[in-house]
């Protein structure tokens, strides 16, 4: 089984939006980091999905990880990934937050789990990163002629968190694999288990949390090589000062003829790009694309996300936004940006 881990400082950049001015620089208290989405785009080709790993971090730092099959890792060919990770650092006593994570073994039909929290006045649960990993032990039904570390062609994935009435966080994970041009892989993915870790936060503030729903469907261009595919975008109408979060998302592919096949992924993510410090994002964008030198399937992209806007008082809270961008090799990539911001 294959797992590559990189800890390095190369290929990273950071865009930090907003500067402390006036009294905001004097606000102190705990700092909570809230994720507002990400994007991964392979540099050259589309690939199987073996690992996706995204997690925000302290100022100037985040985690980005990705693996495809052997055409990404160097065994047959090598590739690199462009990444964007959006995060907001909230300092002050106005926002109360509790973080946690749940790891699920997800069969082909998806999985749900619940976990208890200590906070008794939580208003909302949001995602704060995740990982999807195929390189795990499999059941006796899994064929012996395919290595799960090589991943599978994808039909998409969906993750979400919600608060239950009895004070728990419910986590849902759906990872869909679809057969394509490799017989051994096709037999394996039909029974494959996938490890999914969902990072979450539960939050409470004096103001009412606002919500928005993003839904879009479109047929992907299919004129290879490198079809001109594009994601979907929707305007957001939030106003005021605060932070944005993602409660759930689904990035799905469906064959246009109604079949259950998957394909190699080139680019995927859902993201709200933070504006100036504390200002609401203007749009939400999402995509799951297959453009490449060789495209084997004609697909329709279906994306949706449940989004939240958490109002804050600029006299009580300071918000520092940043988008960490760059290119890194396959594996998990964690870098403190430091003076590069």
Q: What tens digit of pLDDT does each residue of 145-170 get?
A: 999 999 999 999 999 999 999 889 99
Q: Return the closest-CA partner of residue 207 out of 180, 232, 240, 179.
A: 240
pLDDT at 4: 36
Q: Return the closest-CA partner of residue 309 out of 245, 247, 248, 249.
A: 245
In this structure, is residue 334 part of a structural domain?
Answer: no
In this structure, is residue 169 part of a structural domain?
Answer: yes
Q: How far apart are CA 316 and CA 51, in angstroms?
A: 40
In this structure, is residue 336 part of a structural domain?
Answer: no
Q: What share of the chain in percent tops pLDDT 90?
A: 81
Q: What share of the chain in percent tops pLDDT 70?
A: 91
Overall domain count for the chain: 1
pLDDT at 1: 45
Task: Please check the confidence at residue 11 and state whether its pLDDT lies above 80.
Answer: no
In this structure, is residue 332 part of a structural domain?
Answer: no
In this structure, is residue 339 part of a structural domain?
Answer: no
- Note the pLDDT tens digit of each residue in 204-243: 999 999 999 999 999 999 999 999 999 999 999 999 999 9
Residue whose token pair is 């065994």: 75
What single-letter DSSP state applies at residue 72?
Answer: H
39 touches 288 (CB < 8 A): no
In this structure, is residue 237 part of a structural domain?
Answer: yes
Distance of CA 140 to the CA centre of its chain: 31
């Amino acid at each position: 089984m294959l797992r590559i881990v990189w800890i390095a400082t190369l290929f990273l950049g950071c865009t930090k939006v907003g500067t402390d001015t006036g009294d905001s620089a004097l606000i102190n208290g705990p700092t909570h980091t809230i994720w507002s989405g990400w994007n991964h785009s392979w540099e050259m080709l589309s690939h199987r999905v073996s690992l996706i790993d995204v997690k925000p971090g302290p100022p100037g730092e985040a985690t980005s990880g990705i693996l495809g099959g052997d055409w990404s890792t160097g065994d047959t060919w090598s590739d690199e990934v462009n990444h964007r990770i959006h995060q907001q650092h909230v300092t002050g006593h106005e926002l109360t937050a509790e973080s946690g994570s749940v790891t699920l073994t997800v069969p082909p039909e998806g999985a749900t789990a619940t976990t208890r929290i200590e906070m008794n006045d939580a208003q909302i649960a949001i995602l704060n990163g995740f990982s999807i990993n195929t390189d795990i032990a499999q059941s006796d039904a899994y064929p012996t002629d395919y290595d799960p570390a090589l991943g599978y062609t994808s039909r998409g994935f969906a993750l979400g968190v919600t608060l239950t009435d009895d004070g728990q966080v419910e986590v849902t994970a759906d990872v869909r694999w679809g057969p394509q041009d490799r017989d051994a892989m096709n037999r394996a993915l039909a029974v494959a288990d996938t490890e999914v870790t969902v990072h979450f936060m539960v939050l409470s503030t004096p103001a009412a949390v606002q919500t928005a729903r993003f839904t879009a469907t479109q047929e992907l261009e299919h004129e290879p090589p490198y079809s001109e595919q594009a994601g979907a975008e929707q305007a957001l109408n939030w106003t005021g000062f605060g932070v944005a979060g993602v409660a759930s998302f689904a990035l799905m592919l469906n064959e246009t003829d109604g079949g259950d096949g998957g394909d190699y992924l080139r680019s995927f993510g859902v993201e709200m790009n933070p504006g100036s410090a504390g200002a609401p994002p203007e749009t939400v964008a999402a995509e799951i694309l297959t453009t490449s030198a060789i495209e084997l399937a004609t697909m329709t992209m279906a994306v949706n996300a449940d989004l939240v806007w958490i109002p804050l008082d600029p006299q009580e809270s300071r918000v520092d936004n940043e988008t960490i961008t760059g290119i890194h090799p396959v594996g998990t990539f964690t870098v403190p940006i430091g003076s590069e911001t």
